[in-house]
Each structure stands twice: as structure tokens, then as C-alpha cells.
Amino acid sequence: MNKKNNYLNNLRHSCAHLLAAAVKDLHPGVHNAIGPSIENGFYQDFDMVKWTVSEADFPKIEKRMRELLKSWAPFEEKEVSVKQALKDFAKNPYKVELIKDFAKADKKITENNPGNFLDLCKGGHSHDPKKELKNFKLLSIAGAYWRGDEKKKMLTRIYGTLFPTKEELDKYLWQQEEAKKRDHRKLGRDLGLFLISDQVGPGLPIFLPKGAVVRSLIEEYLIKLKKDNGYKFVWTPHIARSQIYHTSQHWGKYDAMFSAMKLDKEEYVLKPMNCPHHFQVFLDKPRSYKELPFRIAENGVVYRHEKSGEVSGLLRVRALTIDDTHTFIRFSQTYDELNRVLKLIKDVFDKFGFKEFKARISLRDSRHPEKYLGSPEEWERAENALKNAAKHLQIKYNEGVGEAAFYGPKIDIMVKDNLGREWQLSTVQLDYNQPKNFSMKYIDEKGKDVYPAILHIAMVGSIERFMAILIEHYAGAFPLWLSPIQVAILPISDKHISYSKKIKELLEKDDIRVELNDENKTIGAKIREATLQKIPYMVIIGAEEIRRSTILSPDSIGKGSHYQQDKLYISVRTREGKNLGLMNLYEFIKKLKSQIETFL
RNA sequence: GCCGAUGUAGCUUAAUGGUAAAGCACUACUUUCGUAAAGUAGUGAUGUGGGUUCGAUUCCCACCUUCGGCUCCA
């Protein structure tokens, strides 16, 4: 952590003390637990005992914080004995627990008291509270378990943030507002993309016609990309005998599995992952080394029992579609195949306008070889293959030692969206374990049976989650190629509808997704609606356009085949509000096509 | 799942222990309009199930939905 961050963290952490002081001042008898600084602010946990606190109390608490701040002096840490500390905090069971733990760990115990508020703290504070702690704001309230342990008591957590200057605080609050405006749940409704029905159930999104267009465009793109690069698509059903997950060793370890159902006399479950189904494809017949790399893919729907409190919009759902890919390789092919996959992943990011990304490579903890399957040499080779492939493609990465699964190392790729937020999208996992569980083997040049390695690949992860990320990334204004409606045709009055219909037909003939607004509304209202719907282009048609066109009477349009696109005129406006003026249909279609090809 | 908040029409919001208000949207009619909201009228709602009460959308209980959290360690 750099110096600047330390300074900011110290201020935020100090502000948590101030919050604790204010709440205890309002309700003597509550216990303050811990109050660290976090990524965008700080929090303070309380055991409210017999009181309650809600966001409605924030103004009152903030006011008290400001009052107390007036009398606060610079923080000073004072080392005290265990005995003294236990005496000072005898009434606070959380502090007592901490003091005892620290004593056991032989840590120094320090206290501070910036202004009639004694607290236990390791240090790292403001040297000028009156000045430095001014620009804070309480944000939200939530429950959190003491020490993050769901078996322990639930405390009340108050979140807040603080910045050194008012400008920085305001900027942060503005960014939060902006993120709220882009919230895919709000845009999903406003733009008619998807809905979540109470009758169908939480975490089970339904895609409306426009959302379904976006969804299938994403899927079609991924299918084409993969097909063009040697992947064969398969299709697998959504349930399987429970036994298959015993074979894969997921049973009992994977807690998001839905309860089993009885069919005839046997137990079946909804599939929580596609892997075992895909393995059946490999197992279909004896495989030769000549068939490797053996690549199969499917946008496979899986079902995961996410905790009820964790489902949210499209980000966390219970029915999701994974752009799943399994590649069976021989060991010597690892590096080449990784290179190939990572390159494709970069293509995907390009296509969707993610300019910044970085990777995390999860490695084994070499001090504990017993925790991993396979020999240290195999691991060494696989890990190096991952690192070298990332290096070769100039992907920045950091290493997570000890984060690998027991069956192989992996690489996860995170992208940065247009608001600067990071999302994990892709994952490529090496697996030496499942071939053994399922007895998947190929026959090598010498006629010997050999276990392949498997690459588990998801380029965008869940299509639903990816859509949520895209909606927020683009703030609902999808690039032309991905827009559910690409062109809105807006006749000025109903005298111009017939000509508009012809234009619509001609655009549709060129595979442009068009919507004709023939409602009885003013042109201003139609423009407003199309703009709010974030439709990239509006085509405005009135007397002027028709007059300029070679065919003067709307009735004559389409009669005979003499019309030509370059003789039909339209006016064009963009969703950004730019008036592109009069142009003929040929020019317009050419413009659209070229823009679609460069995926803008 | 747990803690807290929440639930009024398709959306955004109002009000009340005694007929639930409005804007947008929708429907009909009028208007035929030139680059971000034409006019008039109409349809439409208290999440579900219990309880208290003469009477509940309002108070109480349970359930459900949605939202913020539950990884960040004095």
C-alpha cells in the first residue's frame, strides 16, 4: 500500500472512532466492536443491546459527530498492560475478547483517547482530527456477524466514507449516483430487456423480446467465434442422475446443488455445472491422440441454489447460462492451447469494448504438496505454461499462491468497465483430476492409454451476469451491432406513414432491426421516446423527405421494381442528439453496415 | 439462511383507523404536427394469509418479494 493510501486509511479509520463515540454518546451502553477503513470508506460495528438504529438516524448521528469533533485532539497511542486494558474495557465483551486474543498472541496492546472516548486500537490515525475528519458521510446500515462468523452474534454495521476534501467527497457521491442510474435492474425495466416474475420465482429472470435479442446476439457471436476456432458445439440436458456428481466428487462439497428429485425409482438433480455432461461426449468412444486437442462447447444452462439473500437482478441468479468450453489435451499441448484460448478471450473483450483487463493466476502452495493431485513436476509445468502464455500475450497478471484448486492451477481475467469498476469475466482452469474420476483416456502413438488434461474455459462466464455487466458498462446505450432496435422510424404525421413503412421494409431487407413509431404523437415526443429508449438512430420522415425522393406519391412506392435506395430520402438523428440531416437510404444503410462491422 | 430496511395502478410518488390522490404510461376522441413531452375524457392500485376492531391500506402476527449488507479485522 502506498503512502497516500495509508494517509487516507488513517483518516477513515479515525472517523470510525468518531462514529463509535457519537453512537455511544447518544446511547451509553451500546458496545462498539471493530471499525476499520475499507476500500471506499469505513465501517463500525455495534452491539446495539436494547437500542435500534436506522438510516433515518443518520442526520442525528452525523450532527453529534460534528459536535464531538470540535473537542477532539490528535490521536495518541498509549501502550497498556493486559490487566489495565481488561479493566478499562470490562463492560465491552467484544474488546475483552480481542484483548485476550492479543495477549495470547503476545501482541502489544494500545489505547487511544482523542477526546473523552477511550478506545482500543492498534494505531494509524489522524494527526489533526478537527481539520482532517470534516468531510465524512454515513452511507448505509447492515448486519454483520461478529468476526465474520455466522455462528456468532449479528452486529449492526454502519458504513460511511470520508475524503480529505469536500470536492473529493462530492465526486465520490456523484459517482455513486451515476452507478445507480446505470443499475442494470432499473435499465432492464426501462428498456424492456428482462423481468423477474414473482410467480416464477426469485433469481429466475425472464428475457423480454428486446433483451432476448441482445442475449442471442451475444450467444451467436460466441458460437461463431468458437466454431471458427475449432470448437464443436454439443447440447446436453438440464438434469442428470445424482450418481454422476458422486463420480465427479462434487457431491457434498458443492453446496449450491438443488435438492434431488425422484424419477421412477432413481434420484436426479438439476445440473449445477456442465462438465460431467461434456465428459460423456469424450467417453462416447475410444479416443486417439490424433483427435487432441478435442474441443467442445455449449452455452449450457445450469441451476445453482444461491442463498436467498444473494440473488440479485441478473448478476446473481439461480438459472444461468455458462459459455462453457472443455478442451481435452495431451500434456505437451498445454502452452499452445492456453495461448490460443487467451487470444480468443482478448478478441471477446475487444468486441465488447473492454479496453483494460488483468489476470490473476492461481497457483498451488508448494509447501503443502500433499494438498494437490499430481506430481510437483506436472504442476510446475502447468503453472509455467499459464504464466508464459500470459506473458506472451502481454496480459498483466498477479499470482495467487495457494489459491489453486486441488486438481489444477487456473487463470481468471478481470475487466474494467466504463465507470472504472472491475468485474471478473473469464476463467481458464487446468484439470488433471476429472479424467481419472471418469476414466477418460486416449490412446497414444505407442498404443498406451493416457489420461488427458482438461481445460475448463468460460470466456464471459454466465451470459446473464455478462448482460448485467454490459448494460451497466454501456449505460444501456448498446453499440449499434448489439442494440435490440437499431433504427426508429418516426413519421411526422400519419400522412407519412405509408412512405415510412416502405423505408422500414427496405431496412429490414438489409437485416437492420427497425421499429416504426406510427402513434398519434408530435415528432418531438417521438424523438424523446426513441432517445430515452437509447435507439442509436432515428429516421425522420415528413413532407420534405418525400418531396426530395424520386417517387413523389406514397401510393406509387413499391409498385413495380423501379425504385432504388439512392432515390429515397430520409433525415437522420442520433441518440446523442446530433442531427445528421437529409441523406438517401443507400448512404444510410452503408453507414450502418460499416459501423456494425467495426462494432461501434 | 442471517441482520436491517422495504412493499399503494405498468412506472414515479401522495394520503388516511371511516369513499385511496396525482403525473407519466394505457384506451377513446380531437389535433396532422419538422428534431427531447399537443389537448380532452376514460380504465386502472394498498404483496399474501391470519388477527384486533362496528370498520384495517393504516395497528399486530406469519409468510412472500425487493433493496443494503453478511470477504475487509482493535
Tell me: the pLDDT tens digits for A487-512?
999 999 999 999 999 999 999 999 99
* Cβ atoms of A18 and A68 closer than 8 Å: yes
Q: Is the pLDDT of residue A131 over 50?
A: yes
Looking at the structure, give the CATH architecture of the domain made up of residues A3-165: 2-Layer Sandwich (3.30)
Superfamily of domain A480-597: Anticodon-binding domain (3.40.50.800)
| Distance from CA(A515) to C1'(B41), angstroms, rounded | 29
How many alpha carbons lie under 13 Å from residue A422 in its C-beta half-sphere?
A: 9
Q: Which of A175-179, A436-440, A582-586 has the lowest mean pLDDT?
A: A175-179
In window 158-187 of A, residues with CB < 7 A from nucleic chain B are: 159, 185
Q: Which nucleotide is nearest to A149 (CA to C1')?
A: B70
Residues for chain A: how many in total?
600
Q: Is the pLDDT of residue A562 over 60?
A: no
Characterise A353 by phi-psi region: left (phi > 0), alpha (psi -120 to 50), beta (else): left
In window 199-218 of A, residues with CB < 7 A from nucleic chain B are: 201-203
Q: Model confidence at A46, in pLDDT bands (50, 70, 90)?
A: very high
Range A72-98 average pLDDT: 90
Map out the domains of chain A as residue ranges.
Answer: 3-165, 189-473, 480-597
Question: Of A234, A235, A230, A343, nearest to A294 (Cα)?
Answer: A230
Cβ contact A495 with chain B strand, < 7 A: yes
Q: Are strands A514-516 and A78-80 parallel, antiparallel or unpaired?
A: unpaired
In window 515-544 of A, residues with CB < 7 A from nucleic chain B are: 519-525, 527-528, 531-532, 538, 540, 542-544
Nucleotides, chain B, CB distance < 7 Å: 1-5, 11, 25-26, 29-38, 64-74
Written as one string, the DSSP assignment of A449-468 is: EEPPEEEEEEEEEEHHHHHH
Range A454-481 average pLDDT: 96
Q: pTM for this one?
A: 0.90
Q: Could you tell me what percent of chain A has a pLDDT over 90? A: 68
A246 labelled as ligand-binding? no
Q: Model confidence at A552, in pLDDT bands (50, 70, 90)?
A: very low
Superfamily of domain A189-473: Bira Bifunctional Protein; Domain 2 (3.30.930.10)
Cβ contact A147 with chain B strand, < 7 A: yes
A456 labelled as ligand-binding? yes
What's residue A600's pLDDT?
61
Q: Model confidence at A1, in pLDDT bands (50, 70, 90)?
A: very low
Which has the higher per-residue pLDDT, A146 or A558? A146
Characterise A448 by phi-psi region: left (phi > 0), alpha (psi -120 to 50), beta (else): beta
Q: Is the pLDDT of residue A556 over 80?
A: no
Q: Model confidence at A3, in pLDDT bands (50, 70, 90)?
A: low
A326 labelled as ligand-binding? yes
Q: Is the pLDDT of residue A334 over 90?
A: yes
Q: Is the pLDDT of residue A309 over 90?
A: no
| Distance from CA(A207) to C1'(B65), angstroms, rounded | 19
Measured over the CA atoms of residue A548, residue A553, residue A557 and residue A562, the dihedral's sign is negative
Mean pLDDT, all residues of chain A: 91
Q: Is the pLDDT of residue A597 over 70?
A: yes
Q: Is the pLDDT of residue A554 over 70?
A: no
Q: Model confidence at A360, in pLDDT bands (50, 70, 90)?
A: very high
| Distance from CA(A64) to C1'(B8), angstroms, rounded | 36
Q: Which of A98-102, A235-239, A292-296, A552-556 has the lowest mean pLDDT?
A: A552-556
Q: Which nucleotide is nearest to A44 (CA to C1')?
A: B73
